[in-house]
Amino acid sequence: MDFEKNQRRQNLKVIISEAFMVFAVILTVIILAFIVSGYWLNSDFEVKRQGLLQISSIPTGADIDIDGNSSWLQKTNTSKVLTSGEHTITLSKEGYDTWTKTVDIKEGLLYRVHYPRLFLKNRTSEKALSATGVTYATVSPDHSSLLLINGTTEWLYVNLNEEKITPKKLDISSVFSDVSIASGAKTGLFTGEIVDVDWDTNGSRALFKTKSENGVEWVLLNPKDIKSSINLTREFGTNFIDLKIFDNDANTLLAVLNNNLHRLDVSGRSVSAVIVENVIDYDYYNNELFFSASKNVPGEELTYYYLGSLKLGDKIEELAETTTPAKVAITKFYEEKYLLTLENSTLKVYQKDGFAPLFEFNLSFSPANLKVGHEGEFIVLYSGSQIATLDMETMLVGEWTAEGEGFGWLDNDMIYTVNGGELIVYDFDGLNRRDIAKNVSNQFPVMITNNRYLYYFSDGNLIREWLIPR
Rounded Cα–Cα distance for residues 84 and 377 (Å): 23
Rounded Cα–Cα distance for residues 67 and 72 (Å): 15
Residue type at 103 in one-letter notation: V
Cα dist from 208 to 138, 214, 408, whole Å: 10, 16, 19
Q: Is the peptide bond before 59 cis (omega within 30 degrees of 0)?
A: yes
Say which range, 1-5, 178-182, 196-200, 247-251, has the weakest mean pLDDT. 1-5
Sheet holding 369-372, edge to edge: 369-372, 378-383, 386-391, 396-401
Query: pLDDT: is 312 or 159 the higher one?
Result: 159
pLDDT beyond 60 at 40: no
Output the pLDDT for position 103.
Answer: 92
**Given its phi and psi angles, is residue 187 left (phi above 0), alpha (psi -120 to 50 degrees) or beta?**
beta
Within 13 A of 265's CA, how many CA atoms are on the CB side?
7
CB 320 within 8 A of CB 306: yes
Output the pLDDT for position 335.
Answer: 85
Query: pLDDT: is 385 or 147 the higher one?
Result: 147
Output the pLDDT for position 374.
Answer: 73
Q: How would DSSP label each residue in 270-327?
A: EEPSPSBSSEEEEEEETTEEEEEEEEEPTTSS-EEEEEEEEETTS--EEEEEESS--E
Average pLDDT over residues 347-364: 95
Question: What's the predicted TM-score (pTM) here?
Answer: 0.86
Output the pLDDT for position 32.
Answer: 62
pLDDT beyond 70 at 183: no
- Confidence category of residue 31, pLDDT binned at 50, 70, 90: low
Rounded Cα–Cα distance for residues 118 and 103 (Å): 18
Cα dist from 454 to 146, 176, 260, 306, 434, whole Å: 13, 32, 42, 44, 15
Query: Degrees (nearest 5) of the Cα angle 257, 261, 262?
Result: 85
CB 50 within 8 A of CB 105: yes
Query: pLDDT: is 339 or 77 the higher one?
Result: 339
- Radius of gyration of the CA atoms of the chain, in A: 29
Average pLDDT value over all residues in the chain: 88
- Confidence category of residue 401, pLDDT binned at 50, 70, 90: very high
Say which range, 6-10, 281-285, 405-409, has the weakest mean pLDDT. 6-10
Average pLDDT over residues 285-294: 92
Which three-class secondary structure string do you get for 320-386? EEECCCCEEEEEEECCEEEEEEEECCEEEEEECHHHEEEEEEECCCCCCEEEECHHHCEEEEEECCE
Tens-digit pLDDT profile for residues 418-433: 999 999 999 999 999 9
Percent of the chain with pLDDT over 90: 66
- Confidence category of residue 2, pLDDT binned at 50, 70, 90: low
pLDDT beyond 60 at 174: yes
Output the pLDDT for position 162.
Answer: 87
Output the pLDDT for position 13.
Answer: 63
pLDDT beyond 60 at 37: no
Sheet holding 69-75, edge to edge: 69-75, 63-66, 85-92, 99-105
CB 402 within 8 A of CB 430: yes
Rounded Cα–Cα distance for residues 392 and 376 (Å): 8
Output the pLDDT for position 95.
Answer: 95
Output the pLDDT for position 97.
Answer: 96
